[in-house]
Amino acid sequence: MTSQPTHNEHFERHRAAVLIPTYNNAGTLSAVLTDALTYTSHVIVVNDGATDETAAVLEQFPSLQLVSYSPNRGKGVALRRGFSYALEQGYDYVITMDADGQHFATDLPTMLQQIEEHPGALIIGARNLHQENMPGKSTSANKVSNFWFQVTTGLKGPDTQSGYRLYPLQRMGRMHYFCTKYEFEIEVLVRSAWKGIKVDWTPVRVYYPPPEERVSHFRPVRDVSRITVLNTILVLVTFLYIKPRDLVRFLLKKENWKKMWKEEVLKSDESNIRKAASIGFGIFMGIIPIWGFQLLVSILLSIKFRLNKALVLLFAHISTPPLTPFVIFASFLAGRVWMGQTAKDLVFSNGINFDTIRDNLLQYVFGSITLAVLGGLLAWIVSWAILTIFRKERRNG
């Protein structure tokens, strides 16, 4: 009779380790390490410049793999250095746990199981956000984080702020990160999704001590400001680069065109007029001069008016690179009709000043609105005619 593999053998088979960053958590660190070591000997600790009794605690666990430096650099740096060390040691995965005792080592087998079920995925341990002693501010912040994560990646998840995570280091590669503090956990999550790494969630338990016993290094003003700036940058990158990049990649695959034609154009649960309206509305939203917000507004309005979201979003990309210069030029030409004798050519022959920028901008805005309306209507009519020819509608009765 063969014995069942131990958890440690599973860690070794998957080349996985537990990674615990710590900063001044001497009061809870010993219990966290003891629990983790009951599941595996592959435990990496990053001592992020602790100034309390952390060093003395770590001396009691000689089997640990230790990364230590001073002064304190922040959780983001600790995780980044832990990732680099783990890759150097030949690990393919790390499971990160906080050193404050909030995470339970009993959930490590659950995280390991995700490697078998979802190899190469980044797994987040989803907490019960309604349990006793859960800080109200954490719940609200998590909802905001979940919203912006969905905006930047299109993925909807229950918990994007949990530090209990399974990272697929080999899939992530050696990306160059920018964040050094708590906001790093947002950056690595979004950029991994952008890289095509699957992001998923699995339930885990979490312990929140009463407020009087709670120890936190989170600085509300500084850290919230850093997170806000990061989300702003990520949203801009999403709409100026990631979405256009993904569209180009989508359009370059022949099978995607076939799938879109069959599922979005030919499927019979929508009328031709609604599909044509979705295409026309997408063209309209792609040209209307609300740069940076076109796709977001398109999604919200297509839901409001019950349009085909896939068609709206596809055709709303009409103004994204490399088509942007052509749309701007056409809008500028269309604006000449409204400007009369003050119409401008698309040059700044008299130099760039407030008046020339104002006059040229006004002509562009008028023209882009005109082009958006005409383009949307034309697309609606033409697409309706084509759909009428190539697609039969399902008729009731």
The structural domains of the chain, with segments of one domain joined by +, span 7-248, 260-390
Residue type, 395: R
Strands of the sheet containing 43-48, edge to edge, are 65-69, 43-48, 16-22, 93-96, 165-168, 122-126, 199-203
Per-residue model confidence (pLDDT) at position 11: 96
Per-position DSSP letters for 156-207, written without gaps between them: --S-SS-S-EEEEHHHH-S------STTHHHHHHHHHHHTT--EEEEE--B-
Per-residue model confidence (pLDDT) at position 264: 65
Per-residue model confidence (pLDDT) at position 355: 62
* Residue written as token pair 């958890």: 7
The 3-state DSSP class for residue 224 equals helix
Per-residue model confidence (pLDDT) at position 328: 83
Residues 6+ apart with CB under 8 A from 140: none
Give the fold, CATH level 3, of 7-248: Spore Coat Polysaccharide Biosynthesis Protein SpsA; Chain A (3.90.550)
Per-residue model confidence (pLDDT) at position 375: 94
Longest dimension (CA), the chain: 94
Read off the pLDDT of residues 296-314 as tens digits, 9 standing for 90 and up: 788 888 888 888 888 888 8
pTM over 0.75: no
Per-residue model confidence (pLDDT) at position 272: 86
Query: In Å, what is the CA distance from 220 to each residue of 21, 86, 182?
Result: 20, 31, 11
Per-residue tens of pLDDT for the chain, all 397 residues: 344 568 999 999 999 999 999 999 999 999 999 999 999 999 999 999 999 999 999 999 999 999 999 999 999 999 999 999 999 999 999 999 999 999 999 999 999 999 999 999 999 999 886 655 555 455 677 888 889 999 899 898 899 989 999 999 999 998 899 999 889 999 999 999 999 999 999 999 988 765 555 556 556 667 678 888 998 999 989 878 888 788 778 777 878 767 766 666 666 577 888 889 999 999 999 999 887 677 778 888 888 888 888 888 888 878 777 777 888 888 888 888 887 777 766 655 555 455 655 667 888 889 899 999 999 999 999 999 988 887 766 554 3
Residues 6+ apart with CB under 8 A from 156: 146, 150
* Residue written as token pair 């979705």: 278
Per-residue model confidence (pLDDT) at position 210: 58
Per-residue model confidence (pLDDT) at position 336: 83
Query: In Å, what is the CA distance from 104 to each residue of 92, 93, 279, 392?
Result: 22, 19, 50, 57
Count the Cβ atoms, other than its own, within 10 Å of residue 32: 25
List beta partners, residue 18: 43, 95
What does the alpha-carbon distance between residue 230 and residue 237 come to, in Å, rounded to a whole number? 11
What does the alpha-carbon distance between residue 124 and residue 188 come to, in Å, rounded to a whole number? 12
The 3-state DSSP class for residue 23 equals coil
Count the Cβ atoms, other than its own, within 10 Å of residue 4: 7
Read off the pLDDT of residues 239-282 as tens digits, 9 standing for 90 and up: 788 887 887 787 778 787 677 666 666 665 778 888 899 999 99
What does the alpha-carbon distance between residue 352 and residue 350 come to, in Å, rounded to a whole number? 7
Per-residue model confidence (pLDDT) at position 224: 77
What does the alpha-carbon distance between residue 109 and residue 99 come to, in Å, rounded to a whole number? 18
Query: In Å, what is the CA distance from 94 to each residue of 76, 115, 171, 222, 350?
Result: 15, 11, 12, 28, 60
Backbone angles phi, psi at 165, to 5 degrees: -140, 155
